[in-house]
Amino acid sequence: MTDSADNKPSQLLFWGCFIALITTSFGFITRMFLLDDPAIVEILNLDPAQVGKFKGIQIWPFAISIILFSLIIDKVGYKFSMIFAAACQIIWAIMGIIGINLAYNGDAAAGANLIYWGGLVLALGNGTVEAFINPVVATMFTKDKTKWLNILHAGWPGGLVIAGIAVIVMGPETSWQLKTGIIIIPAVIYFLMLIGQNFPVQERVASGVSYKDMLREFGVFGALIVALLIYLQLDAEYPGNEMLFAAICAGMVLAFGIYTQHLGRGLMGILIVIMMPLATTEIGTDGWISGIMAGVVTFDPEWILVYTSVIMMGLRFLAGPIVHALQPLPLLIVSCILAIAGLAALSGANGTAMIFVAATLYALGKTFFWPTMLGIVSEQTPKGGALTLNAVSGIGMLAVGVLGFPLIGALQANKEISEVSKVDAPGLVANGDLVEGATDAKNIYSIINYSVLNAEVVEEKLASASPETKDAVQAARDGSAPKALMSMTIFPLSMLIAYIGIFMYFKSRGGYKPIEIDSGGGSSSDD
């Protein structure tokens, strides 16, 4: 954990963790770009829904592995977790390369299977990275957790920038086998950096806090949220097994409740709920932004994600003085305001300059969300150890994969209908509404309700329309997606209200103060 000479935290250990996080975003963005390539989609014989499924499998197992490894990491150790993570990331690269080769050689089914299940392997590795790097860094820098967790999480946008630019610059003439395989480089680097390191003893363990007390800090409420999200994901991925999945998830919560006999800390429950719109604001928007802006920009929309990631990376490196000046909760309040302004501005931005101005606001807003939340969780629930620290990340990833991604898609579908309804298109639009049959009502999990255009009916109704009318309808459809970003401001707005409430709560108690646990497992302050 420390350099023997001056007893300071090992910088090699920290930067090894940093590069490990870079590796996760390498896998995330290169695989997303792979599945965004129409040529790859065609040779794999995937429809849009299947593409969504292929993208989703690198999200929800990510979240599950964070939580599961947090439960056992004391037993298996940080080093084993690191080795497992690096192995999974390299195995994905091999599976992806072979899968692409098979698809190019005419075996689309076998290629698709390797790429699909390779996404699961990648997700398990990426989640395990998060499971060990967060508690390692929080333990190394116990007096300055929020600052160093922000610097650590500069690795995520850093990887998006490096890998994103690499893939864009390589261009379509470079094989996807090579683009997929570049994740091996950072995976090998952090493996070599960390394999000889002595990892620190977790703060909770060193202080003598029991395993049961760790689980009680998370509580039955947290377990219930995790189980519900897992149930929704499994039901969507493997329909027809509702009762089995419900029984498994209910059994998990019941067993957890019997063992802990504790609902969990109130503040922890609130932070868990906040993490769901937070993850949707950051990861959800990032996953959709290229597609959302594709119809209104004159350049490769992937550059927007790269640009916002550059800003995030730079600001997270400067987190120390920013966190010191504002403190965690005011920083999050300001971030919410900037995110709301950025999304609103992007929804109506015209022209390259205004788009990048709006993207700058959005980037400034989202920069400190994730690591500052981790810092607050670590400072306020130290007895929760790796579990509470990583569980909020896991819940965030589960929420964005299960609810965030489809909800953003539903908002875009509804906005498309709204914008087409404004067009003067006789036969298709009457009195500001689309004619009967032009839309199909749909839902996801019976809780996300939306409508989509019926392409056949729309084409039929416009068959005799003028070219000008057809162009107007198409322009409305192309320009509708960015306007849905205004609806997405509800996510940072809900966070803003919650953070103001938490800030006022702490102010009533004398101000925000981190909780410290002593060697006997007690804490200096609690609620």
Q: For residue range 352-390, list pLDDT tens digits in order.
A: 899 999 999 999 999 999 999 999 998 999 888 888 888
DSSP code for 423: S
**Residues shown for the chain:** 527
Angle between helices 285-293 and 11-36 (to 10 degrees): 40
**Contacts with 416 (C-beta within 8 Å, 6 or more apart), sequence order:** 452, 453, 476, 477, 480, 481
**463 vs 454, 458, 466, 470, CA distance in Å?**
14, 9, 9, 9
pLDDT of res. 519: 56
Collapse the DSSP code of 492 into the 3-class scheme (helix H, G, I; strand E, B; otherwise coil) and give the result. Answer: helix
pTM for the structure as a whole:
0.84
Instruction: Write the DSSP symbol of residue 336.
Output: H
Sequence letter at residue 164: G
Amino acid at 103: A
Rounded-to-integer distance, Cα 359 and Cα 321, Å: 24
**Tokens standing for 229?**
């999200």
pLDDT tens by residue, the chain, 527 residues = 444 344 566 899 999 999 999 999 999 889 988 988 889 989 998 876 678 778 878 877 888 888 888 888 878 889 999 999 999 999 999 999 999 999 999 999 999 999 999 999 999 999 999 999 999 998 898 888 888 999 999 999 999 999 989 998 998 899 999 999 999 999 999 999 999 999 988 777 777 888 898 899 999 999 999 999 989 888 877 888 989 999 999 999 999 999 999 998 899 999 999 999 999 998 888 877 877 887 778 888 888 888 999 999 999 988 888 888 889 999 999 999 999 999 999 998 888 899 999 999 999 999 999 999 999 998 999 888 888 888 898 899 888 878 887 888 888 888 989 999 999 988 898 888 898 899 989 887 778 888 888 888 888 889 888 999 999 998 898 888 889 899 999 999 999 999 999 999 999 999 999 888 765 555 554 44
Note whether 152 and 15 are within 8 A (CB). no
Q: Cα 12 vs. chain centroid, distance in angstroms?
A: 27
Distance CA 393, CA 22 (A): 16
Buried b (16+ CB within 10 A) or exposed e, 169-200: eeeeeeebeebbbbbbebbebbbebbeebebb
Q: Which of 475, 507, 282, 497 is nearest to 396 (CA)?
A: 282
Q: Which domains does the chain have, with CATH numbers?
A: 6-200 (1.20.1250.20), 277-517 (1.20.1250)
Distance CA 490, CA 339 (A): 11
Of the candidates 69, 66, 109, the one whose C-alpha atom is nearest the C-alpha of residue 398 is: 66
Q: Which two tokens mark 449?
A: 């309700």
User: What's the rounded Cα separation, in Å, for the pair 73 and 139?
Assistant: 14
The span from the CA of 64 to the CA of 127, in Å, is 7
Report the SS3 class of residue 447: coil
Q: What is the pLDDT of residues 203-246, one digit of tens each?
A: 777 778 888 988 999 999 999 999 999 898 888 778 889 899 99
Kindly report, residue by residue over 474-496, the tens digit of the pLDDT: 889 888 888 989 999 999 999 99
CB atoms within 10 A of CB 475: 15
Q: Residues near 174 by Cβ (< 8 Å), separated by ≥ 6? A: none
Tell me the three state secondary structure of residue 443: strand
Q: State the DSSP string of 219-251.
A: HHHHHHHHHHHHHHHHHHHSTT-HHHHHHHHHH
Alpha-carbon span 512 to 374, nearest angstrom: 15
Show contacts of 351-355: CB within 8 Å, 24+ apart: 352/297, 352/298, 352/299, 355/293, 355/296, 355/297, 355/304
Q: What DSSP assignment string belongs to 30-42?
A: HHHHHHH-HHHHH
- Tokens 């989703």 appear where? 56
Nearest to 359 by CA among 289, 461, 451: 289
Alpha helices, DSSP H only, in 421-520?
455-461, 467-487, 490-508
- Report long-range pairs for 33-42 (Cβ below 8 Å, ≥24 apart): 33/164, 33/167, 33/179, 33/302, 34/96, 34/115, 34/176, 34/179, 34/180, 36/290, 36/291, 37/176, 39/172, 40/100, 40/103, 40/176
430 strand-pairing partners: 433
